[in-house]
Amino acid sequence: MKLRYLLYPFLATVIFTTVSCSKDNGQEPLPDWWFENDSTSATGDDLPEPGNCDNIVVAHRGGSTEAGTTANPDNSIAALRYAMSLKCYASECDIYWTADDNVIVAHGDSNCQINGMYPWEHTVAEIRKAGNLSNGEQISTLGEFLDVDMEAGSCTRLWLDIKNITYPSTLTKYTINACRRACEIIEEKKANKFVEFICTANSTVMASSFLYASAGNINIGWMSNSSAAVYLGKSYPWANLSTAFMTHDGGARTIDEFAKAKIKLSIFVADSDDDMNYYMNNASDLKAITTNYPKKMLMKMGLR
């Protein structure tokens, strides 16, 4: 384990003394040494990079809805390969921490269970033994996803959705562990440039995940329906917002608000023709557009 991850619990206590309170009072700047690689870390010069990408389209759960969920279930290798075949900017997937300190790629049910199990209480082997995906694939680990995503010539990044745990109660520890362990796996694979995080709106989880992601020089977006001023106050450079939060769909947030604040903005999930057309026409002010229909979006953009 890297030195900065070992030091994290102490640093978090010093810097984030307010995160367990009901009020969200922001954070102090991190010390410079937090961002420095230790002697075993990969440097920017020797990290592999994705190929050139001509779009900002992110395939939600690999575009499984468009590709057909039976053969390409969400969070499957098959769905990832579908997004890669389209040369999408990124393929979104969901991550959970397991009891054997691993990270699986899967989406929990309404009770935050996978194959009828709370992932943080079970090992990867136990979760896999309980059932396969609809196409026969076993549930993948993050390491396995990275191995596929980093194949020669790939231009598609992984967007790792750090899932909030709200059942049987809000359990921030296990959500934070998913980011912590993911960062270690990413660094072991030298995949830092192939991955970006999107984090639940839970402010406690984001505060900790921001530390971990920053330590690995990995981009992380916060999915909070907060003003650009709040993002600036927390030094969070990227907002990943639902279409429902935007004024175009009756929400309070505007593209211009974030553009003026120089906060990167990405949108999810743009599926209707109206939403696709609106965000496509405003693409110059967006970091990315997530959709369940990536091929359709790319065709609208004249890119496929």
Mean pLDDT of 52-79: 98
pLDDT tens readout for residues 195-209: 999 999 999 999 999
DSSP the chain: --HHHHHHHHHHHHH-TTTTSSS----PPPPGGGGS--TTSPPGGGS--PPP----EEEGGGGHHHH-TTTS-TTSHHHHHHHHHTT-SEEEEEEEE-TTS-EEE----TTS-BTTB-GGGS-HHHHHHT---TTSPPPEEHHHHHHHHTSTT--PEEEEEE----SSS--HHHHHHHHHHHHHHHHHTT-GGGEEEEE-S-HHHHHHHHHHHHHTT--EEE-----HHHHHHHT--EEEEEGGGBGGGT-SB-HHHHHHHT-EEEEE---SHHHHHHHHHTGGG-SEEEES-HHHHHHHTT--
Query: In the structure encoding, which two tokens stand for residue 14, read together?
Result: 């010093």
pLDDT-wise least confident of 39-48, 176-185, 191-200, 230-239: 39-48
pLDDT-derived band at 46, boundaries 50, 70, 90: confident
- What's the predicted TM-score (pTM) here? 0.88
Do residues 156 and 91 touch, judged by C-beta distance below 8 A?
A: yes
pLDDT-derived band at 34, boundaries 50, 70, 90: very low
Do residues 182 and 159 touch, judged by C-beta distance below 8 A?
A: no
Residue 89 is predicted with a pLDDT of 98
Residue 9 is predicted with a pLDDT of 45
Mean pLDDT of 98-102: 98
Residue 304 is predicted with a pLDDT of 87
pLDDT tens readout for residues 160-185: 999 999 999 999 999 999 999 999 99
pLDDT tens readout for residues 277-287: 999 999 999 99
Q: Is the pLDDT of residue 3 over 80?
A: no
**Distance from C-alpha of 120 to C-alpha of 59, rounded to nearest angstrom:** 27
Whether residue 168 has a cis bond before it, omega within 30° of 0: yes
Do residues 97 and 178 touch, judged by C-beta distance below 8 A?
A: yes
Residue 45 is predicted with a pLDDT of 66
Q: Is the pLDDT of residue 69 over 80?
A: yes
